[in-house]
Structure 1
Amino acid sequence: MPAQGMPSPYSLPLHTLRLAGKCALPLIFWFAAGQLARFALLYGATELAYGDFRQLRLVVVMTLLTFIILTAMTVTTGMLYSLRGALWEMRARVDEGVQQERFFRVLDRVAPAFAVLYLSWGFQTEDARDVYQMDLFHHFDKMMDQSFFGEDATVGRGLIDLDWRVSLGAMVVMFGLKWLFAKLVEQGKGKFYGFLAAFSEFAFVFYGLNATFFIAKARSDWLQHRNVVAGTEEVWAEAQKSVPLWETVTGIFGDVWPFVLDGVAVPLAWLTVAMLVFGSYSDETRALLKGTRLEKGVDRLEDSHDLTQKSFDQLTGGFRDRWLPLANSLRMIFRSGLPLFGMMCLCYVALNVAGQYAERGLRTLIGAREEWVWYFQGPPLGFVHEMIVTVLTMALLAATYDIAATRARLNGESLNDV
């Protein structure tokens, strides 16, 4: 327990620095190992994309993209796991006789939910962009030669040139594995089934991207020629012009909403991952609505016909995957007081903004006579910047959970939903 008794939400920055200082070496080690593994996989994806049996090579590229994301999942879990020993809540559990979980047990529990959150919020876009950029930089001369001689350019197309029939076949296979591992995870059988479930979840999405795009484009082209669809588009366009203040309201909302997502929703998503690592997490609707009038609605839904439940799951599945875990994280924070939630969001945004300004300031301070010098100076500086921001962000998530759990414990409550 903290020496001062009930920890204040406003002590979050100091607690973050305390955790980062005590666990700096393992955090830096995890980050450096992850960056090394990520670079090796990115380089391998750009090398293996060219040669004979191109379609088979493109399947391998998709597989390496999956491993890149699994590496990010492992590193994130490892960094948070290395902070467990410095948390007040973890020490209190040890005093109660609760044994500390092994890393691979934690990773297996984190993996399925991490996959859902990662895909629901589109974090894989940055990984795909890194593969594309690495391919362009590494094979720039090949791209110029193909353009000069009038050949079809293949550089930078490792993620989009997979034939839709091959994509569909791989998608079907991975769907079967996804369903099998999900059932095994539900039954609690064996080890690493959670990790394999996450792998199959990512692979199912990535292998099926080309087939999904081809089918969706064909369907879209067909629908655009239907009279009902064309008439609906005209009515919608006319409504946008005639409704007062429509463009003003939608414009303001469009400008503000991305900042709300980056400053509020994204930190809550990563806090959900931290809750998974620390063993206090639930993605069930009942846990969110427990103790409210809406809990009776959950009872009625569970007592309804199977067809009704399946229809409800189909209708709300994407929404629940995206927002329900975040709502549970928000509920945990609110139980410790609104100031803690505000401090977490403020510190998260401040870390990213301060990191960007610090890197820009260092670039200005170092300077260079020639622009090409930054091809050599830029990567080390970027590595240090990203390392510091990532280490402090992981410490911030752990400190937020620790203060919330400690306040709940001192108030005689429990944050363990599972």
Structure 2
Amino acid sequence: MSGTSALAAPRQDAAPRRASWRLSPYALPLNALRILAKCALPLILWFSAGRLVRWALLLLAATVSHGSWYQARLVLTMLLFTLVVMTSLATTVGMLYVIREALLETQARRAGGEAKESLLNALNRTALVFAGIYTTWGFVADDAREFSGIDMMRQPDRYILDAGSGDDSGVAAGLLNLDPKVSLVTMAVAYVVKWYFGRRHEAGEGRFSGMLATFGELAFAFYGINALATAVGARSDWIGHRSAIAAWHDFASSAEDGVPGWKQVSEWLGDVWPHVIDALAIPLAWLTVGILVYGAYAEDTRTTIRGTRLEEAAAHLERTHNWTRLALVKLSAGWTARWIPLLNSLRLTARGGVALFGLFALCYVGLHIGGDFLLRAGRYLTASEEPYLWFATGEPVVYVVDLVVTLVTMCLLAATFDLAATRARARARANGGAPVTGGTAEPDRSSPSR
């Protein structure tokens, strides 16, 4: 009997060891693969449906952009392009939503009595910030390039003839040829939609208010492309000769001549900065979307700076004149839309440890580099001496590569959130059992300990 009990002890300790390993940041790749194995089928269905709808909308937009009543057609083309971005939103949120039940954090929430959230609520909460991230970080450029590619493939001979004759038939230019006056009118309508439903969303009214406000936000931005481009082109010479701009150029050129190493440092930063964006900012932007879908996100600047010295400065700002606050909000709007969501995500992810975020960024970059090599391999294996066969083989290869990369990316985002939230929950429990809010892993602010 004594020998039997002595052998049983290590088995009793095996389960806690396995549980602790699952919470290790270095288990992130295994957790991502575990989620992928559980949810592969619904992820494939969501991705395929989203890709089909997106392609159909782009083809319809390219078809509509040619014919009589040209400007009216371009208005409709931009409307369809806005729906393309909304489709990307729905697909991304849907893929993240279907794997939430495979997360440890979700199981903890269910054990705590939290009800299952609907997909519509997740879409409504995510829509506005997703639109800001999607436009400010340039993801929409991929949609614009694909629209142009589809339009050119519909009429390749016409595009080539236009290039030789100097004519403009509007091929691949359906997003650029909208008249500035028409752009201003449609911008005004889109702004009203954005303002009205944005106010309703802030007040918590309307089941679809967040999505409709996002639609107005995107339409306002897209319809304004041509008007803004025209205004910038007309004023570029005037702006270039203003004293502040000229003084800055003079300062930069004199610094290159007078400050040792200035030119080398600026060139080095210019070379390194794009890689920093691709390796850190872009993964963090997508992680922001994942955290939004799972309900662990604070959208405003005040939540980001809570507990830091900047909170006191913000309190002083609240006591300033209304026009001062309004001017500061307008001047910092682009910065806040671009960086504040990422700072929120970084703050939440940092609770899981620096190693977790570092490994997440490394896996994200490695995954996309591997996707590039996979695409090359697919094109190499499907290459043929038959002319134009790549028309038939090219798109399936791209689909398979995008499917693999996107599915693993979604699981990686979910696993990163899951580890960060679960580790923060376990740490809070070990430090005295402070209650945590569902998913935010923040202490309850109504707690007496606060």
- TM-score category of the 2 structures, normalised to the smaller one: over 0.9
Give the whole-Å Cα distance in 1 for the aligned partners of 2:390 and 2:244. 55
Query: Which of 37, 40, 44 is the aligned partner of 2:53?
Result: 37
- Name the counterpart of 2:228: 212
- Name the counterpart of 1:400: 416
Moved more, 103-112 or 308-317: 308-317
The letter of the residue matching 1:275 is I
For structure 1, list consecutive stretches of 5 or more residues without a partner in the other structure. none
Query: Which of 11, 14, 18 is the aligned partner of 2:30?
Result: 14
Query: Which of 268, 279, 282 is the aligned partner of 2:298?
Result: 282
Summarize the Cα distance change of 1:119–1:362 in structure 2 as closer, same or farther, 3 Å threshold. Answer: closer
Greater relative contact order: 1 or 2 (C-alpha under 8 angstroms, separation 6 or more)? 1
Counterpart check, 1:357 vs 2:351: no
SS in 2 for 1:23: helix
Is this contact kept in 1: 2:125–2:292, CA < 8 A?
A: yes
Is this contact kept in 2: 1:147–1:153, CA < 8 A?
A: no
Counterpart check, 1:138 vs 2:154: yes
Give the whole-Å Cα distance in 2 for the aligned partners of 1:296 and 1:86. 40
Is this contact kept in 2: 1:120–1:321, CA < 8 A?
A: yes
Task: Report Cα offsets for 1:272-326 as digits up to 9, x if no partner.
Answer: 1111110000122222222223322222222333222222212222111111111
Summarize the Cα distance change of 1:112–1:314 in structure 2 as closer, same or farther, 3 Å threshold. Answer: same
The letter of the residue matching 1:292 is T
Summarize the Cα distance change of 1:372–1:12 in structure 2 as closer, same or farther, 3 Å threshold. Answer: same
Summarize the Cα distance change of 1:44–1:404 in structure 2 as closer, same or farther, 3 Å threshold. Answer: same
SS in 1 for 2:19: coil
Give the whole-Å Cα distance in 1 for the aligned partners of 2:353 and 2:416. 12
For structure 2, list consecutive stretches of 5 or more residues without a partner in the other structure. 1-14, 429-433, 445-450
- Name the counterpart of 1:196: 212
Counterpart check, 1:76 vs 2:125: no
- Name the counterpart of 1:385: 401
Give the whole-Å Cα distance in 1 for the aligned partners of 2:184 and 2:64. 21
Counterpart check, 1:108 vs 2:124: yes
Summarize the Cα distance change of 1:351–1:228 in structure 2 as closer, same or farther, 3 Å threshold. Answer: closer
- Name the counterpart of 1:117: 133
Task: Report Cα offsets for 1:119-149 as digits up to 9, x if no partner.
Answer: 1212111111111111111111222344566
- Name the counterpart of 2:103: 87
The letter of the residue matching 1:165 is K
Q: Note the aligned Cα RMSD (angstroms).
A: 2.1
Give the whole-Å Cα distance in 1 for the aligned partners of 2:381 and 2:183. 49
Moved more, 10-19 or 315-324: 315-324
| 1:204-353 map, 5 Å | 204-224=220-240, 233-234=249-250, 236-353=252-369
- Name the counterpart of 2:9: none
Counterpart check, 1:98 vs 2:114: yes
SS in 1 for 2:18: coil
Q: TM-score of the superposition, structure 1-length normalised?
A: 0.95
- Name the counterpart of 1:60: 76
Q: Which has the larger radius of gyration?
A: 2
Moved more, 178-187 or 279-288: 279-288
Is this contact kept in 2: 1:355–1:389, CA < 8 A?
A: yes
Task: Report Cα offsets for 1:205-237 as digits up to 9, x if no partner.
Answer: 111111111112212233345577556645543
The letter of the residue matching 2:410 is M
Moved more, 298-307 or 63-72: 298-307
Task: Report Cα offsets for 1:8-52 as digits up to 9, x if no partner.
Answer: 000000000000110000100010001101110111111111111
Moved more, 156-165 or 363-372: 363-372
SS in 2 for 1:126: helix
- Name the counterpart of 1:160: 176
Give the whole-Å Cα distance in 1 for the aligned partners of 2:265 and 2:222. 36
Is this contact kept in 2: 1:170–1:207, CA < 8 A?
A: yes
Deviation at 1:261, TM superposition (A): 0.6
Is this contact kept in 1: 2:382–2:393, CA < 8 A?
A: no
Summarize the Cα distance change of 1:150–1:95 in structure 2 as closer, same or farther, 3 Å threshold. Answer: closer
Is this contact kept in 2: 1:9–1:340, CA < 8 A?
A: yes
Is this contact kept in 2: 1:359–1:385, CA < 8 A?
A: yes
Moved more, 238-247 or 280-289: 238-247
Give the whole-Å Cα distance in 2 for the aligned partners of 1:402 and 1:231. 50
The letter of the residue matching 1:300 is H
Summarize the Cα distance change of 1:85–1:320 in structure 2 as closer, same or farther, 3 Å threshold. Answer: same
- Name the counterpart of 1:5: 19
Q: TM-score of the superposition, structure 2-length normalised?
A: 0.88
Moved more, 82-91 or 373-382: 373-382
Give the whole-Å Cα distance in 2 for the aligned partners of 1:189 and 1:3. 47
Summarize the Cα distance change of 1:371–1:242 in structure 2 as closer, same or farther, 3 Å threshold. Answer: farther
How many residues align structurally? 418
The letter of the residue matching 2:132 is V
Give the whole-Å Cα distance in 2 for the aligned partners of 1:15 and 1:43. 38
- Name the counterpart of 1:172: 188
Task: Report Cα offsets for 1:175-227 as digits up to 9, x if no partner.
Answer: 12111111111111111010001100000011111111111221223334557
